[in-house]
Structure 1
Amino acid sequence: MNLLYSKQPTQRQLVIASSIQQVVSKAFVTQEIYHPNLEDTMMVFPFVKITADLKIATIYVDCLNKDKVKGVLEILKSLTVEIRKLIANKLKLKYTPEIRFVEDTITQKQSNLLRLIDNIS
């Protein structure tokens, strides 16, 4: 079972989620989307989850400096309109999904679980 989805996602959901992840990641690396307060912040977008109707994309965010995550989320939320326009231009979807940003806790849970399994072995 996939940790992000309650039901198995369709191939289309997976492709669109992956495409959104690539567009958003590349936009910050190439500074297509820029915010001065994010200049020295190392952030990654490990997962994107999209609803079955393809109308809402949840982008998971993680930062190297865990203390900055809340501030980064606020900045990303303020950039949502710009990010959505970029996704619309790059992906040419019939409907561009609403974008939401949340802190990635899934990766941390997976790491903790793997550590526990290693300790048992």
Structure 2
Amino acid sequence: MAKRGARTPSQRQLRVGEQVRHAIASVIERGELRDPDLDCISITVTEVRLSPDLRNAAIFVVPLGGGDAADILPPLRRAAPFLRRRVSEMVHLKYVPELKFEADLSFDYADRIQRTLDQLGLPDAAAMGGSEKDEEHGP
């Protein structure tokens, strides 16, 4: 069996994380959370990272269409016990993970990189990849 690095998640962590992500996203989508702070906000669950023992889950969320993620974190943290109970009903595990909500900053980071590339006058990766393929294969 191949050794994994200390930070590389196992296939089981990835699979269970995806199941937990789907469960939480479906609860939020169906409007089962009865928090007035979340009434008019659409939330995207971008990723769930599980600890190796599957007992702790970091759930990364972002408000759909941008906005400040700090506004949605307190209501989601208040709803964590309810969401944990719903996850236990939807995903069958020996131990239901503790849910810790965090803001997903990867979209902001990618946007910052893109703006920096634009300021430098460099083409983005998609444009570069498309032109290289055209040159390799010809007309």
TM-score range, shorter chain: 0.7 to 0.9
Does 5-14 or 57-66 show the bigger shift? 5-14
Contact kept? 2:23, 2:87, Cα under 8 Å: yes
Decide whether the 8 Å contact of 1:20 with 1:87 is kept in 2. Answer: yes
Partner of residue 46, structure 1: 46
The letter for the 1-side match of 2:31 is Q
Amino acid across the alignment from 1:109: Y
| Higher CA-based Rg | 2
> Would the aligned equivalents of 2:28 and 2:43 in 1 still touch at CA under 8 Å?
no
Cα distance in structure 1, aligned partners of 2:40 and 2:109 = 26
CA contact (8 A) 1:42 1:65 kept: no
Question: CA separation of 1:104/1:90 partners in 2, compared to 1, >3 Å: closer, same or farther?
Answer: same
**CA distance in 2 between partners of 1:100 and 1:111 (Å):** 25
Partner-residue secondary structure (3-state), 1:61: strand
Which residue number in structure 2 is paired with residue 7 of structure 1? 7
Bigger relative contact order, structure 1 or 2 (CA pairs below 8 A, ≥6 apart) = 1
**Using the alignment, how far apart are the partners of 1:115 and 1:53 within structure 2?**
39
Which TM-score applies when normalising by structure 2?
0.74
Contact map agreement 1:28 1:34 (CA 8 A) in 2: no
Q: Report the TM-score when normalising by structure 1.
A: 0.84
| Structure 1: runs of 5 or more not aligned | none
Who is 1:25 aligned against? 25
For structure 1, which segment, 90-99 or 29-38, has the greater mean C-alpha deviation from structure 2 after superposition? 29-38
Give the Cα–Cα distance (whole angstroms) in 1 for the partners of residues 17 and 53 of structure 2. 12
The percent of aligned pairs where both chains have the same amino acid is 23
